[in-house]
């Protein structure tokens, strides 16, 4: 016959090992007000870049809103205008990521 201490030890080991034996499908990592920045030669491309970053990162998300920044001219060493660099920030009220364990 096993002693009380042996039963307690067996029970404690069972409690420690049981969660490892049950597989968990996925872990959800929620973020609130998730935002990403985008850069592009036009404001539309900068906002599309920021929106795409959110779409690529979040498995589930809320509606995406964009906040256009500004466009700055880009000059070469001789002072010639090469184009523009525009920035935009996209945000969503929530972003959920599912990570397989």
Helix/strand/coil for 95: strand
pLDDT at residue 12, rounded to an integer? 45
pLDDT single digits (tens) 27-75: 455 557 899 999 999 999 999 999 999 999 999 999 999 999 999 999 9
List the domains of the chain with CATH numbers: 26-100 (3.30.1660)
Percent of the chain past pLDDT 90, that is, above it, reads 61
DSSP 30-92: EEEEEEEEEEESSHHHHHHHHHHHHHHH-SEE---EEEEEEEEEEE-TTS-EEEEEEEEEEEE
Confidence of residue 20 (pLDDT cuts 50, 70, 90): very low
Provide mean pLDDT across the span 4-13: 51
| Greater model confidence, 7 or 46 | 46
Q: pLDDT: is 3 or 59 the higher one?
A: 59
Average model confidence (pLDDT) across the chain: 80
């Amino acid at each position: 016959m096993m002693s009380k201490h042996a039963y307690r030890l067996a029970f404690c080991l069972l409690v420690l090992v049981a969660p490892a034996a049950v597989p968990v499908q996925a872990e959800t990592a929620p973020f609130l007000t998730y935002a990403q920045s985008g850069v592009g030669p036009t404001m539309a491309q900068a906002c599309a870049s920021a929106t795409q970053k959110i779409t690529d990162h979040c498995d589930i998300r809320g509606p995406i809103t964009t906040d256009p920044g500004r466009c700055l001219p880009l000059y070469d060493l001789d002072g010639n205008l090469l184009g523009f660099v525009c920035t935009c920030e996209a945000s969503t009220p929530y972003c959920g990521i599912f990570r397989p364990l």
